[in-house]
Every structure is written in structure tokens, then in C-alpha cells.
Amino acid sequence: MFNPSGSSSSSGNSNYYRQPTSTPGVNAPNPPPNFAAPPPAGKPPAGAYPPQGAPGGYPPAGAPGGYPPPPAGAPGGYPPAGAPGGYPPPPAGAPGAPPVGAGQYPPPPQQAGQYGPPPTMAAGQYPTPAATGGISLSKDQSISLSKEDPSLRRIFVGLGWDVNQVQGCPFDLDAVCFMLGTNGTVKVGQDFIFYNNKVSRDGSVEHKGDNLTGQGEGDDEVVTINLPQVSPDVIRIAFAVSIHDPETRRQSFSQVPRAFIRIANQESGRNICRYDLSNEGGTNTALIVGEVYREGPEWKFVAVGKSFPGGLKYLCQIFGVSV
């Protein structure tokens, strides 16, 4: 413990000095000692330092322990930007940079969420989109294709399936589509698109061919649609898969454990959405997988996943196709 020594009543001094009680007989000095560190030897008092570079002052600029060197290009500094041994020149377009040649500019950085330009293809030819990516949909869920991809003009519809092959009874599944009016049926027979009628009456829908085995990964059959070319009296395009000759072959969708439909931008190759069906058809032989339809200025897609007996013939009856 420290105790104050001295009294303001006897000495008239309000300052006090603290000393340990373990050192008896030691009187407090008056005035109290100065505990501040003495000024360094040879150093002038504050405010009286010699000029930079003078004896006892700071070293000259650039010398060890001195101020940093002057900026690039100043007398005694680093060489100017771009000169041998100097800083690298500024990027094109920055202040002090040399002018860019006429018509030549550095490419802008690609921002997040932007897609690169589509690959260069010959006129009328487009890449086959990859089978992955896009929004995964569930049954009865719909999506606006126009909002998901405002640049969308041509769509690629890929349909695929896996089958449990039975010895001596190969599967032959067929992808078909129906161009429907406001009453839910086709206007003419040519609005029914399948392996024997591959192009619609307005030329907007094209079936790319029949796959007789269903073997291999990815899309088994493909349909393309030129949306601006679709006839104004068509408001829905339904996509379905049927089993060929199911009664004779004793086959149904219970032997097709996996099927899917996916929608992609045919021009850019970007996948927009995908609907995976697992054991959806049961013992039926026809399956409507999804529909592309108009709603005002927008094109949308809905995942349907409804199955029926009677195969392709029954689908034709539903949609008003004479067989």
C-alpha cells in the first residue's frame, strides 16, 4: 500500500509523493522528482531539428532509413512508366496510356450471370444441347420459358427413356406431338407430328427421326420448334411418348423406369428446364410428358406426366386426329 506523505495544512503544498511504508525514515522530496526520460544525447530540442540531410538530421531521400524516393519520373526518382526499368505502362484506356488503334478495344469483362456468345455455326445449323443443367421441374409445375431466356426463338425438345429389355421383345417407344387450338384438338391432321409426318403445316415444328431401340445415353428422340413461326391458331403443343405395338409385345410403362423431357435454347445450347419421370406410366401404354403453350406474349412449359391405356391410338382420339 502507498500512503501520502506531507500535509497541505503544514506545508501549504497540495502535491504529495507516494512512498512504500516498508522504507521508513525516507522523506518525500520537494518538489517531486522528474521521472520523464531525458532527451537523447546530441539531439536538438523539439522544433529545432536540422534540415533534411544536414549533420544530425534525417538521411537524404532514398538513403537507408530516409524518406521514400520521389515518384516515378521526378528528378532522381524511378524511370517514367513504360521506360526500361520503370513501372509497367497503364492499361489501355487509362489516363496516360497510349491511344488504342481505330476499331480495336479490349473485350469487356464477362459479368456474372451473362452467357458467352453462341458458337459459330453454319446458317440453319445449331449445336445439340447437353443433357444436363436447367431448372428441374416436378409434376404439374409450370415455368415461363420467355422470362427464363428472353432471347429464346427456337427451342430444342429432347425426350429420353430407359427400358428394362426383355429377351426377344425389344422396346420401340415413339415421341409425338400435337399442335392444339383453343378447343384442345388439332385443326388439321398435319398438326400431328410423328415419325411419318415430321414437319408441321406451318414448318415451325420438326421431328428429327425415330429411334427404334431407345439404347444409349441422353435424348432418344428430338423435336425442334421455331416459336415465331408457330401458326397463331395454335396455343398448345403437347408432347407424348407411346409404346409401339404394346399388346402384341406385352409391354407397358411399368417396364420403363425412367423417362424425361427437357427444353433448351436451340441457338445458344443453354438448357432451360427438365422434367424427370420415374415409373409414372404404370401399366399404361401412352404418356403425355409436357406441353409448351402460349400465355399472352409469353411461351411457357408445364410438366404433365399423365398416362393412358390404348397407346398412340388413344392419344389421337383425345386430340382429334383421325386414324
> What's 295's DSSP letter?
E
CB-based contact 92:106 (threshold 8 Å): yes
For the chain, give the mean pLDDT: 73
Phi, then psi, of 19 in degrees rounded to 5: -135, 155
pLDDT for 4 = 44
User: How do strand 271-278 and strand 135-137 relate by DSSP bridges?
Assistant: parallel
Asked whether 204 and 231 are in contact (CB, 8 A), the reply is yes
pLDDT (0 to 100) of residue 92: 52
Q: Which residues contact 60 (CB under 8 A, 6 or more apart)?
A: 52, 53, 66
Run of H or E residues at 300: strand 298-308
Residue 291 in contact with residue 176, Cβ under 8 Å? no
Residues 6 or more apart whose CB falls under 8 angstroms from that of 200 comprise 179, 190, 191, 193, 206
Q: Any idea which of 111-120, 198-207, 281-290 has the lowest mean pLDDT?
A: 111-120
Backbone angles phi, psi at 246, to 5 degrees: -70, -30
Lowest mean pLDDT of 193-197, 235-239, 253-257, name the range.
Answer: 253-257
What is the Cα–Cα distance from 311 to 309, expressed in whole angstroms?
A: 6
Residue that the C-alpha cell 520523464 belongs to: 36
Each domain of the chain, given as residue ranges in start order, spans 135-318
Show the CA angle centred on residue 175, arms to residues 170 and 178, nearest 5°.
Answer: 150
Note if the pTM is more than 0.85: no
pLDDT digits (tens, 9 = 90+) for 141-184: 999 999 999 999 999 999 988 877 666 677 788 999 999 999 99
Q: How far is CA 174 from CA 104, 211, 287, in A?
A: 52, 7, 10
* The CATH homologous superfamily of the domain defined by 135-318: sav2460 like domains (2.60.60.30)
